[in-house]
């Protein structure tokens, strides 16, 4: 399976006509054939700093997504919430008492952490405005009582807007994220009402209204095999007045929609290249806006800050569903395989592997994805493989092999399978960007391989490695032109934080 995955000390790669030397272990990079004194001085200064040994605040989970609605007015086929029904359950809205208990649970779990984050999720959360208001009022009172700061946000499909919604957002200073996939054709491919009609016109009408209430409204766009032109979509969002944008590749559970073919991968990488060129030109001309895809590795490179885990699922962040079940993250809510507790019982049982594991270890330890997997199928891993619907020559379900390549294009890992019960080499341990990415997504591991640590979606890996190259190229340009631009980007990033669960 492996192809010599021993990490190298230095890697040289090319991007946009420039060549760079990158140190995967130290995270420093530099242009080849020319000097960038500001960049070099910055790295020298950061490397010379003494580590900050101040103890972190004691506490655990401080961010929850709260499913106030297991219902939706739309029926998007790629939705992790399964059109708001979360796997065939009845349509249901959270009641006030359940919302208050969830808020209490969040503050208890946070311990001494000074900040807590509450993000309202669905289905479509704006179908339950009265309960959102009660929960927000209660959370603010709780924050004042405990001396904590509360940050609240909401993720909406953008089709619902009225005076009551506007007042809710104003009264509680909620940050808004709108799901919108791009141009009319791109958006209406999958983002449709229950009757099959596209939602583009309804969303566009409301974007400017949301911006009036929250100027930092973010657009979250899902990339599928049918919509990959990120440069075109970003230009549209900017024309609408949006200055916060994030693209994310669709989850891997629906293979015909996922970006899972080489020609589709090449298409999206080329679109990112076009977007990178225009984005750099805009930044250097003073038009500063936030593109999460390009910024997400900035802190790692600038601060030489290593990550050893992909996200904070189960340790800093969880999802609470409409019935008060605590899930490892919102993507596990539908299948229920990573239900780690209930709000009513206060305690959570986070798998030991998540609490203690360094996701960059050389081997991918077998950590079955919850008891329901084995109960449903008889053996871990098979459930997820069957979801893909593909058969090998013996008639068994299988996952297509993916050949992982380093920043310079060198193949280093042929990932064919990694089902629970088998200890395999860990692709993440030998990747050039392991310390900026942090490892693989737990949900991708379960969906593809039936194991939380089964491995990453290889196509997403290729996009991440490409984004890392773009990040280094942009930082090189910014340091050479005007490093003050980074202060403005940092400010936008801070304002974007409550949009994310990672």
Dump pLDDT digits (tens) for 32-77.
999 999 999 999 999 888 655 555 566 789 999 999 999 999 999 8
Instruction: Give yes or no for residue 447 having a pLDDT over 60.
Output: yes
Q: What does the pLDDT average to over 136-156?
A: 97
Instruction: Give yes or no for residue 420 having a pLDDT over 70.
Output: no
pLDDT of the residue at 450:
74
Mean pLDDT of the chain: 86
DSSP calls for 401-412: -EEEE-TTS-EE
Q: Contact 123/81 with Cβ under 8 angstroms?
A: yes
Going 252 to 263 to 431 to 502, the CA torsion angle's sign is negative
pLDDT of the residue at 305:
92
Q: What does the pLDDT average to over 162-174?
A: 97
- φ and ψ of 35, to 5 deg: -115, 150
In tens, the pLDDT along 338-382 reads 899 999 987 788 877 787 778 888 776 554 433 333 333 333 333
Q: Which of 151-165, 176-190, 329-343 has the lowest mean pLDDT?
A: 329-343
Query: What pLDDT band is residue 192 in, cutting at 50, 70 and 90?
Result: very high
Q: What does the pLDDT average to over 321-325?
A: 94
Instruction: Give yes or no for residue 181 having a pLDDT over 70.
Output: yes
Instruction: Give yes or no for residue 390 having a pLDDT over 50.
Output: no
Domains of the chain, first to last = 63-309 (3.20.20.70)
Rounded-to-integer distance, Cα 98 and Cα 118, Å: 14
Instruction: Give yes or no for residue 391 having a pLDDT over 70.
Output: no
pLDDT of the residue at 383:
33
In tens, the pLDDT along 230-280 reads 999 999 999 999 999 999 999 765 667 888 888 999 999 999 999 999 999
pLDDT of the residue at 371:
34
Rounded-to-integer distance, Cα 380 and Cα 372, Å: 9
pLDDT of the residue at 344:
92
Q: Which of 120-134, 142-156, 173-187, 449-463 has the lowest mean pLDDT?
A: 449-463
252: Cα within 13 Å, side-chain hemisphere: 28
What letter does residue 57 receive in the DSSP assignment?
Answer: P
Helix, strand, coil % in the chain, rounded to nearest 5: 40, 20, 40
pLDDT of the residue at 254:
67
pLDDT of the residue at 83:
55
Instruction: Give yes or no for residue 288 having a pLDDT over 70.
Output: yes
Radius of gyration of the chain (CA): 22
Q: Single out the residue of 429, 424, 437 nearest to residue 365, CA to CA.
A: 424
pTM score, whole prediction? 0.90
């Amino acid at each position: 399976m492996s192809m010599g995955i021993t990490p190298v000390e230095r890697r040289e790669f090319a991007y946009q006509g420039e060549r760079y030397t990158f140190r995967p272990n130290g995270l420093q990079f530099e242009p080849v054939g020319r000097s960038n004194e500001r960049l070099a001085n910055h790295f020298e200064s950061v490397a010379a700093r003494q580590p900050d040994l101040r103890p972190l605040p004691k506490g655990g989970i401080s961010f929850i997504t709260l499913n106030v609605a297991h219902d939706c007015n739309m029926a998007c086929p790629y939705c992790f919430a399964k059109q708001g029904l979360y796997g065939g359950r009845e349509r249901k809205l959270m009641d006030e008492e359940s919302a208050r208990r969830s808020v209490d649970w969040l503050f208890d779990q946070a311990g001494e952490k000074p900040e807590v984050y509450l993000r309202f999720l669905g289905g479509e959360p704006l179908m339950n405005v009265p309960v959102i208001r009660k929960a927000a009022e209660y959370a603010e009172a709780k924050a004042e009582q405990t001396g904590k700061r509360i940050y609240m946000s909401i993720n909406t499909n953008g089709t619902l807007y009225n005076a009551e919604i506007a007042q809710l957002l104003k009264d509680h200073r909620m940050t808004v994220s709108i799901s919108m996939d791009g141009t009319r054709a791109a958006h209406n491919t999958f983002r449709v009402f229950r009757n099959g009609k596209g939602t583009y016109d309804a969303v566009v009408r409301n974007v400017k209204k949301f911006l009036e209430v929250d100027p930092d409204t973010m657009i979250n766009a899902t990339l599928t095999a049918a919509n990959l032109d990120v440069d075109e979509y970003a230009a549209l969002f900017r024309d609408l007045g949006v200055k916060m944008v994030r693209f994310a590749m669709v989850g891997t559970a629906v293979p015909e929609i996922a970006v899972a073919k080489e020609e589709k991968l090449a298409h999206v990488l080329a679109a990112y290249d076009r977007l990178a060129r225009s984005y750099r030109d805009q930044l250097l001309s003073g038009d500063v806006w936030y593109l999460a895809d390009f910024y997400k590795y900035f802190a790692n490179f600038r601060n030489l800050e290593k990550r050893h885990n992909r996200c904070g699922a189960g340790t800093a962040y969880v999802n609470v569903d409409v019935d008060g079940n605590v899930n490892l993250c919102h993507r596990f809510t539908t299948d229920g395989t990573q239900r780690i507790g209930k709000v009513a019982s206060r305690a959570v049982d986070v798998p030991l592997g998540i609490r203690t594991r360094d996701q960059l270890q050389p081997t991918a330890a077998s950590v079955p994805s919850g008891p329901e997997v084995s109960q449903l199928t008889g053996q871990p891993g098979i459930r997820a493989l069957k979801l893909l619907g593909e058969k090998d020559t013996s008639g068994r379900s299988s996952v297509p092999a993916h050949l992982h390549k380093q920043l310079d294009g060198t193949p280093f890992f042929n990932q064919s399978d990694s089902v629970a019960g088998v200890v395999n080499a860990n692709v993440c341990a030998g990747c050039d960007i392991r310390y900026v990415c942090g490892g693989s997504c737990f949900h991708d591991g379960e969906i593809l391989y039936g194991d939380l640590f089964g491995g990453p979606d290889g196509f997403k890996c290729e996009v991440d490695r490409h984004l890392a190259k773009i990040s280094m190229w942009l930082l090189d340009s910014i340091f050479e032109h005007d490093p003050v631009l980074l202060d403005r980007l940092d400010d936008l990033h801070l304002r974007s934080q409550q949009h994310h669960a990672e």
